[in-house]
Every structure is written in structure tokens, then in C-alpha cells.
Amino acid sequence: MEFKDKVVIVTGGASGMGAATAQGFAEAGARVVIVDRNAELAAQVARETGGQALIGDVSDSRFCAAAVEQTLAQHGQLDVLVNAAGVIVRSRGEDTSDEAWNRIMGVNLNGTFFMCRAAIRAMKPRGGAIVNFGSIWGDLGAVGVAAYCASKGAVHNLTRALALEHATEGIRVNAVCPGEVNTPMLRSERTEPVTPELMARLAATVPMGRLAEPVEIAHMVLFLASEKASYMTGSLVLVDAGFAAR
């Protein structure tokens, strides 16, 4: 999977699976642009990857358009977009506030759409690949994360629709759907202390008996963005250690 002379935007690239993905593209020869709200962590990943950081909120459509425009101005092209930015609120539907609902939809769904829209317009002259971050919870229900499940389900169908709209234009749109991954998000918003015992209980829910590491998801992202996946578009690829197979 070679990305020499390719330009890649990774949203949510400052930590977790986004950072691992950015590292993977850089190691494969790509020029990487990190898009994230966290300026300090984004700058760190940019230094590690030899890339650049653009700081802003993907729920703002104007920022998303500007991020793509700045990438084109700096590099002259955009070959790959990875939408890894995401947030979660752990609450039942009846307890989810308007603010929490709108924030989850704003980042997870709207941000994915805004970035896709801007990227597709930029990719039309030469083609490209988009990899959205879905989730096992986009197709499966779960207690206590209703808004998150809804947002990822919408990302899944957005991926399919965009893939069909641009199937003859050399622009492929797929989604990676991780299971339980050892990231800051997995540990966030917990109502109980995040202890080794808690993490062990989470791992025990997975058929393989362990959490994924971010780099394991990044490997699939790179594959979907590469020419080795040239006949794949509109696909939702589970990377979940068999979680959804039950």
C-alpha cells in the first residue's frame, strides 16, 4: 500500500485511531494534513508525521471547506480523506440533552458530510478515496449510547449514498466499522473509574477476548484508501474481532 506523492486529510487525527491512521499514511509516503480541535496534540502528530495541522471544528461547514481549500493551496491536490473525528455521550435516549444530541450529530454526522462534500468537489478532476469512520454501533443497538448509535447509522447510509453518486467518477467512498478499540474515547464519559478491571470487563465482551489497538484499525483504513481496494465502494467493513458475528 504505497501512497508516495499522495495528499491525505485525516480528521480527528490528533489522537486514537485518527493519529494511528495519520502515522500509517506518513510511513507509506503520503503528505498528511491533520484536522482536529486539539491544537497541542494535532501539532505533535503533525511533527511526528512531517505533516501539517489545521485546527478547527468539523461541525462548522465553513471550516471544512476552508480546510480542503488550504490543503489544495498548499499541496495542489487531495487524494484521500479520512473522517475519523468523533465524539460520544454515554446516556440513554431519554436522558440525552438537546445540546448533547446536537453535538454528536454535529461532529459525527454533519462533520463527515461537510468534509466529504468539500473533498469530493476537490477530487473530481483526478479521483480519490474517502474512508469514513462508522462503528459496530451503527448497525447494532446498545444501551446508553442512543445518540452515538444514531449518528453512526447515518454515517453508514451516507457512505453508501455518496459511493453510488460518484461510482463512475473515480471517487470511492467506504467506511471502516471498528469494534472496541483501546482509545481515549473508549475510556471517556464513563460513570465509574477507568481501572484495569473495567478495561478487562470490556475486553471480555469481545470474542477474541481483547481490545483492538488503534493501529489495527488504521491498517484497514489504508487498505480501503489504496489501489488494492480499487473495486470497493459503498462497503462497510467491520473490524471488530467477531463482535457483530454473534
Catalytically active residues are 148
Nearest to 77 by CA among 37, 27, 121: 121
Q: Which of helix, strand or coil describes residue 242? A: coil
Q: Which three cell numbers stand for residue 158?
A: 451516507
Alpha-carbon distances of 208 from 135, 211, 219, 243, rounded to whole Å? 18, 8, 18, 9
Q: Where are the beta strands (DSSP E) in the chain?
A: 7-11, 31-36, 52-55, 80-83, 128-133, 171-178, 236-239
CB-CB contact of 64 with 114 (8 Å): yes
